[in-house]
């Protein structure tokens, strides 16, 4: 006996309608769960952040584009070209308090207690970089995990120990002639600008100068000379890819999405082939020559090659990725801090005059400009510290960690939650610093604790993060900044062209890095020092 089951004939329109209804039901279920039943649903934050990683970052991701439709397209365009991560996250903390939910599974903290809990106690690997935005972005850019992103605490400790050899005081002293050589080359170019009576973008000059320095320090010879335009093109690609990477980061937290994530990664790397672009910065043949050189230099690559002494076996991709990871991270953060230091001292004439007076009274000849001497100049170092307070380079997405089941600042956080401490907000908080949004380098001078700055909480100053994952190159970066600032201000006088034409907080973009900043100046030689 045969039983025939008659099914209704569905038209294409009805099938599409049913699929849309099912999709809407699933979406509604996810939204309701994220908004009301998720383990961090009780944490305050923007409504949109509860079910999408958009929040107020102005970085609309691909998934939400599909869900929300054409009405969001203008916002997407605006998001790509008007990045305000730091200032908007600060605004969220000012509105919601020291704990803010900024994504479905992401929490931002703005307190010293939380900062210490997240970053200072990592030796046991409790707070991991695994699954964070920076790790995902690094995977797209490089071919192997690096010291900056490697999640395993044991491997990180071993790799850190060998690479640290390139950043000891002895290594820094031996690196100083390399730094000064490239500074002298840049000064020759500035001299030509002075002769022509032209204006200049000081930020561009500083970035080009430090690009040559960091390339030489990384590989023991200037392998990346003249390649900065290639990097700048890559940086613009990276800026454009942030929303897609944000979408991938969002998908990582969803079960059963491994295949989708792999497809999305392939799509992004096909559109923006970062690894092949990175390889253009250092030709493979020259890289092999550096690896084979074994001349005892204390550059980044040579330090990484000592990994076998710690029981680590690294292949060629790992050598290259670690050297390039340190190089690009060190370049971007230091070059930005250099530009920001000059920006601030030129915007505040009293600070500029005081710094010039300190440098020119303590330095008689160019031979007096040494890292050791500059480290003892109080106002120079105060200006650099104050710049790092206002614009910490290791903020935002770069500071994310994946939390275990734990309590942070008295708040229970379930395992797998992405957490970070917002250094920008902490270091600009009136709870931690007097006149927090103003460039006041005198707060760092001896005796400041008996002035109006006695209420400053100096422990809130942590621009390089803390703990085992603190910036390994911070001393090299500060030495480079001191040398460059001193060399230029001893030889030249600078004048900002339009004090209000560019305002960093208003005009510079901020997401993973700072972008789109210029410092237009007039420059002239100081008599007798050309």
Condensed to tens digits (0 to 9), the pLDDT of residues 247-260 reads: 555 555 555 454 55
**Residue 399: both structure tokens together:** 């500071």
Q: Given this model, what pLDDT does residue 69 score? A: 33
Secondary structure E strands in 76-166: 99-103, 106-109
Q: Given this model, what pLDDT does residue 3 score? A: 54
- Is the pLDDT at 385 greater than 90, yes or no? yes
Mean per-residue pLDDT, 227-246: 60
520-525 sheet: strands from edge to edge: 200-201, 520-525, 492-496
**Residue 403: both structure tokens together:** 């939390």
Mean per-residue pLDDT, 280-298: 61
Instruction: Tell me what the pLDDT averaged over the chain comes to.
Output: 80
- Is the pLDDT at 130 greater than 50, yes or no? yes
3-state secondary structure of 493: strand
In angstroms, the Cα distances linking 145 to 130, 236, 321, 452, 481 are 11, 23, 7, 46, 28
How big is the chain, counted in residues?
A: 530
CB–CB of 473/322 below 8 Å?
no
* Higher pLDDT, residue 102 or 479: 479
User: Of 95, 12, 103, which Cα lies nearest the Cα of 55?
Assistant: 103
Element (H, E) at 29: helix 12-32
pLDDT tens per residue, range 423-433: 999 999 999 99
pLDDT tens per residue, range 311-343: 677 777 777 788 888 888 888 899 999 999 999
Q: Given this model, what pLDDT does residue 198 score? A: 81
In angstroms, the Cα distances linking 178 to 206, 209, 227, 335, 394 are 16, 12, 18, 17, 26
- Is the pLDDT at 105 greater than 90, yes or no? no
- The partner residues of 200 in beta bridges, in order of sequence, read 521
CA pair distance 89, 80, nearest whole angstrom: 17
Sign of CA dihedral 268, 269, 275, 276: negative
CB-based burial of residue 7 (10 Å sphere; 0-12 exposed, 13-18 middle, 19+ buried)?
A: exposed
Percent of residues, the chain, with pLDDT higher than 90: 39
Q: Given this model, what pLDDT does residue 444 score? A: 97
**Residue 389: both structure tokens together:** 């307070």
Query: With bands split at pLDDT 50, 70 and 90, how would you rate the model's confidence at 210?
Result: very high
CB–CB of 102/375 below 8 Å?
no
Element (H, E) at 527: none
- The partner residues of 99 in beta bridges, in order of sequence, read 109
Sign of CA dihedral 341, 343, 344, 348: positive
CA pair distance 489, 305, nearest whole angstrom: 38
| φ, ψ for residue 406, nearest 5 deg | -160, 180
Q: Given this model, what pLDDT does residue 58 score? A: 38
Lowest mean pLDDT among 48-57, 136-145, 216-225: 48-57
pLDDT tens per residue, range 29-84: 767 777 777 788 889 988 776 666 544 333 333 334 334 333 332 322 333 345 67
Q: Binding site membership for heme: which residues?
A: 471
Q: Given this model, what pLDDT does residue 497 score? A: 93
| φ, ψ for residue 199, nearest 5 deg | -85, 165
| φ, ψ for residue 150, nearest 5 deg | -60, 125
Q: Given this model, what pLDDT does residue 21 score? A: 82
Q: Given this model, what pLDDT does residue 461 score? A: 97
Q: Given this model, what pLDDT does residue 496 score? A: 94
- Is the pLDDT at 281 greater than 50, yes or no? yes
CA pair distance 96, 425, nearest whole angstrom: 13
Mean per-residue pLDDT, 356-370: 94
**Residue 139: both structure tokens together:** 């995977």
Residue whose token pair is 């690896």: 291
Return the CATH number of the domain spanning residue range 113-402+448-525.
1.10.630.10
Domain boundaries, the chain: 113-402+448-525
Half-sphere exposure of 150 (CA within 13 A, CB side): 20
Q: Binding site membership: which residues?
A: 471
Q: Given this model, what pLDDT does residue 231 score? A: 66
Q: Given this model, what pLDDT does residue 65 score? A: 38
* Higher pLDDT, residue 12 or 378: 378
Pairing assessment for the beta strands 520-525 and 492-496 based on DSSP bridges: antiparallel
- Is the pLDDT at 460 greater than 90, yes or no? yes
Q: Given this model, what pLDDT does residue 254 score? A: 54
Pairing assessment for the beta strands 411-413 and 406-408 based on DSSP bridges: antiparallel
- The partner residues of 411 in beta bridges, in order of sequence, read 408
Q: Given this model, what pLDDT does residue 264 score? A: 55
Lowest mean pLDDT among 4-8, 17-21, 45-49, 423-427: 4-8
Q: Given this model, what pLDDT does residue 56 score? A: 37
**Residue 227: both structure tokens together:** 């390649």
CA pair distance 48, 412, nearest whole angstrom: 22
DSSP 84: B
DSSP 176: H
Lowest mean pLDDT among 247-261, 389-403, 507-521: 247-261
Q: Given this model, what pLDDT does residue 40 score? A: 87
Lowest mean pLDDT among 45-49, 104-108, 399-403: 45-49
Q: Given this model, what pLDDT does residue 60 score? A: 38
* Higher pLDDT, residue 36 or 217: 217
**Residue 214: both structure tokens together:** 């960091």
Q: Given this model, what pLDDT does residue 448 score? A: 76
């Amino acid at each position: 006996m045969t039983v025939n089951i008659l099914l209704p004939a569905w038209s294409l329109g009805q099938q599409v309608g049913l699929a849309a209804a099912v999709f809407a039901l699933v979406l509604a279920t996810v939204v309701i769960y994220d908004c009301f039943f998720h383990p961090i649903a009780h944490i305050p934050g923007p409504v949109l952040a509860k079910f999408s990683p958009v929040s107020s970052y102005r970085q609309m991701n691909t998934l939400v584009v599909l869900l929300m439709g054409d009405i969001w397209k203008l916002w997407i365009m605006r998001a790509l070209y008007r990045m305000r991560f730091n200032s908007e996250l600060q605004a969220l903390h000012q509105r919601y308090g020291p704990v803010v939910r900024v994504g479905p599974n992401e929490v931002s903290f703005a307190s010293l207690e939380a900062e210490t809990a997240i970053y200072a106690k990592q030796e046991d690997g409790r707070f991991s970089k695994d699954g964070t935005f920076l790790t995902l972005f690094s995977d797209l850019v490089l071919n192997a995990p690096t010291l900056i992103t490697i999640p395993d605490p044991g491997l990180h400790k071993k790799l850190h120990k060998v690479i640290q050899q390139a950043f000891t005081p002895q290594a820094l002293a031996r690196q100083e002639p390399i730094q000064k050589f490239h500074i002298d080359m840049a000064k020759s170019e500035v001299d030509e600008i002075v002769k022509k009576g032209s204006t200049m973008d000081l930020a561009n000059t500083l970035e080009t100068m430090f690009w040559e320095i960091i390339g030489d320090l990384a590989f023991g010879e200037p392998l990346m000379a003249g390649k900065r335009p290639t990097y700048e093109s890559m940086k613009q690609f990276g800026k454009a890819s942030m929303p897609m990477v944000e979408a991938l980061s969002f998908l990582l937290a969803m079960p059963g999405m491994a295949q989708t994530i792999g497809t999305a990664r392939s799509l992004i790397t096909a559109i923006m082939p970062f690894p092949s672009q990175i390889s253009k910065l250092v030709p493979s043949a020259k890289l092999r020559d550096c690896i084979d050189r074994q001349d005892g230099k204390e550059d980044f690559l040579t330090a990484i090659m000592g990994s076998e002494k710690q029981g680590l076996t690294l292949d060629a991709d790992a050598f290259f990725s670690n050297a390039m990871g340190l190089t690009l991270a060190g370049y971007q953060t230091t070059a930005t801090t250099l530009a920001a230091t000059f920006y601030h001292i030129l915007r505040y004439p009293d600070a500029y005059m005081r710094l010039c007076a300190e440098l020119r009274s303590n330095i008689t000849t160019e031979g007096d400009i040494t890292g050791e001497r500059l480290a003892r100049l109080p106002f120079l170092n105060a200006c650099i510290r104050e710049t790092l307070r206002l614009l910490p380079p290791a903020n935002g997405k770069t500071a994310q960690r994946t939390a275990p089941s734990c309590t942070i600042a008295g708040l229970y956080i379930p395992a797998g939650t992405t957490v970070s401490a917002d250094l920008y907000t902490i270091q600009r908080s009136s709870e931690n610093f007097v006149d927090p949004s103003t460039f006041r380098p005198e707060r760092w001078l001896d005796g400041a604790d008996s002035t109006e700055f006695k209420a400053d909480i100096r422990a809130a100053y942590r621009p390089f993060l803390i703990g085992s994952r603190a910036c390994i190159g911070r001393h090299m970066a500060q030495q480079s900044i001191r040398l460059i600032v001193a060399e230029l201000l001893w030889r030249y006088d600078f004048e900002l062209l339009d004090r209000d034409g560019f305002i960093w907080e208003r005009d510079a973009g901020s997401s993973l890095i700072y972008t789109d900043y210029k410092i237009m100046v007039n420059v002239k030689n100081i008599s007798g020092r050309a």
